[in-house]
Amino acid sequence: MNARGSCLKILYLGTKNGTSLDRARAYERLGHSVHHIDLRELLPQSNWVDRITWHVGGDRLSPWVTRRLRQEAGARQFDLCHVDGGEYVTPATVGMLRNFADRILNYNIDDPFGSRDGPRWRAYRQSVPHYDLCVVVRSINALEALNLGARDVLRVHMAADEILHAPRILTEQDHEEWDSEVSFIGAWFPERGPFLYELVKRSIPLTIRGNRWIRAVEWPGLKAHWKGPAVYGDGYAKAIQCAKVNLGLLSKANRDLHTTRSLEVPALGGLLCAERTAEHLSMYEEGKEALFWDDPAECALKCEYALSNPVARSAIASAGRMRLHANGDLNERIMESIIGRVLFGKADRRKPEASAT
């Protein structure tokens, strides 16, 4: 229910997987009626579409998306349109959506102003001034959106999900399948291979799960520690719960100062051992609610400490979970704050204002 106690009709434009689906479901759990359209499903199911998006720009495909979207929306009317990501949504698309929704917001968990994804976000950058609210997860993105003429910007943290990241009841079979000492769950990026290989050389009992690790120059030294590709759902949750230490590595090219792991690990009751950043230090008290490090040598020392002190390890993990809930970095709470901002805050499409939080 929204701040005025009513059920909203929400047009949700985002993928039907990953964190986008989590946010749509959070709206539903809050009591709102959600009509979910995956814009990628409106395009041909060909690898060429994705290649065009990433290497040329999603704006080239926008006319097709806009035409199909108008047909999908039909004669419905909505209180709010949530565009998640927005690589296919140009100013013309936003203008068309005004026929269906009173307020239009964009939520982007990626770094649409950075260099990692090339032209993928060109349509998003064109459309920034046309949304009633732009929601971003990096402070630098808030400033960049304002510099592009955003009417209103809300900066939030990434989030754990109240349902997906609630601790599971683990069986003996779960422990046999998922138990590990020090775990990293995530894809290979160039800076991650050398870091994890340094931990291996320091005799840290490491388990890696994720995609593309065969590309690592350090693969010969990491291969024995790789236990398979990316895991999702219950497997992902159990892998975190069954690890004594969960590493939190950032994506440097994405200019991250925290990631979804920063919230999901504590939510599941796991011990977070992550890179020391200003954002991590604002989320958790170091040494009491999470462990932080600056380099592989310090990370190895923190892992050794946690592995040899089970009582302290359990206490830090428990305190981290309590702090996460106190901070409110959870999907339902963040979706509530977004609704409050776009409907009852400063954003007004008739009188554009720009303010960052």
State mean pLDDT over 309-334. 98
What is the pLDDT, as a whole number, of residue 347? Answer: 38
If you average pLDDT over residues 211-220, what whole number do you get?
Answer: 97
- Coil, strand or helix: which one is 98? coil
Whether the pLDDT of residue 149 is over 50: the answer is: yes
CATH number of the domain to which 211 belongs: 3.40.50.2000
What is the rounded CA–CA span in Å between residue 19 and residue 273?
22
Distance, in Å, from the CA atom of 50 to the CA atom of 61, rounded to the nearest integer, reads 10
Per the domain annotation, does 353 fall within a domain? no
CA 243 to chain CA mean position, Å: 21
10-63 pLDDT, tens digit each: 999 999 999 999 999 999 999 999 999 999 999 988 888 888 888 888 888 888
Output the pLDDT for position 234: 96
Phi, psi for 277 (deg, rounded to 5): -135, 165
95 plus 35 within the same structural domain: yes
Residues 147 and 180 in one domain: no
Rg (CA), the chain: 21
Q: Is 1 part of a structural domain of the chain?
A: no
**Of 160, 167, 136, nearest to 332 (Cα)?**
160
State the pLDDT at residue 2: 43
Per-residue confidence (pLDDT) for residue 353, from 0 to 100: 36
CB neighbour class for 311 (10 Å; exposed up to 12, middle 13-18, buried from 19)? exposed
Backbone φ and ψ for 291, nearest 5 degrees, come out as -110, 140
Assigned domain for 199 exists: yes
Is residue 50 in a domain?
Answer: yes
Tell me, yes or no, whether 204 and 307 share the same domain.
Answer: yes
Longest dimension (CA), the chain: 63
Domain enclosing residue 292, as ranges: 172-327
Instruction: Tell me: do 186 and 309 sit in the same domain.
Output: yes
What is the rounded CA–CA span in Å between residue 273 and residue 289? 10
Residue entry with tokens 């920063």: 262
For residue 78, pLDDT over 70 is answered with yes
Residues 186, 265: contact at Cβ < 8 Å? no
- Same domain? 127 vs 234: no
pLDDT for position 252: 83
Q: Is residue 356 part of a domain?
A: no
Answer yes or no: do 195 and 133 share one domain. no
pLDDT over threshold 60, residue 136: yes
With a CB cutoff of 8 Å and minimum separation 6, the contacts of 323 are 266, 283, 284, 285, 289
Residues 121 and 249 in one domain: no
Rounded mean pLDDT of 253-275?
96
Number of independent structural domains in the chain: 2
Kindly state whether residue 230 falls inside one of the protein's structural domains.
Answer: yes
pLDDT (average), residues 335-345: 93
Instruction: Indicate whether 188 and 321 sit together in one domain.
Output: yes
Predicted local confidence at residue 4, as pLDDT: 46
- Tell me the pTM: 0.91
- 231 and 291 in a single domain? The answer is yes
Q: Of 347 and 172, which is predicted with more confidence? A: 172
pLDDT band at 8 (very low <50, low <70, confident <90, very high): very high
Is it the case that residue 295 has pLDDT exceeding 90?
yes
pLDDT tops 50 at residue 314:
yes
What is the DSSP pairing of strand 78-84 with strand 9-13?
parallel
For residue 237, being part of any structural domain is answered with yes
Residues present in the chain in total: 357
Per-residue confidence (pLDDT) for residue 72, from 0 to 100 = 87
Residue 81 domain-assigned?
yes
Sign, CA dihedral 332-187-270-243, equals positive
Decide if pLDDT at 248 tops 90. Answer: yes
Domain co-membership, 323 together with 335: no
CA 141 to chain CA centroid, Å, is 14
Question: What pLDDT digit, counting tens, does each position of 98-127 carry?
Answer: 999 999 999 999 999 988 878 999 999 999
pLDDT level of residue 5 (50, 70, 90 thresholds): low
Domain identity same for 139 and 18:
yes
pLDDT of residue 3: 43
| Residue-averaged pLDDT of the chain | 93
**pLDDT band with cut points at 50, 70 and 90 for residue 354:** very low
Q: Read off the tokens for 26.
A: 């959070």
Assess whether 117 and 201 both reside in one domain.
no
pLDDT of 230 higher than 90: yes
Q: Give the helix/strand (H/E) hosting 271.
A: none
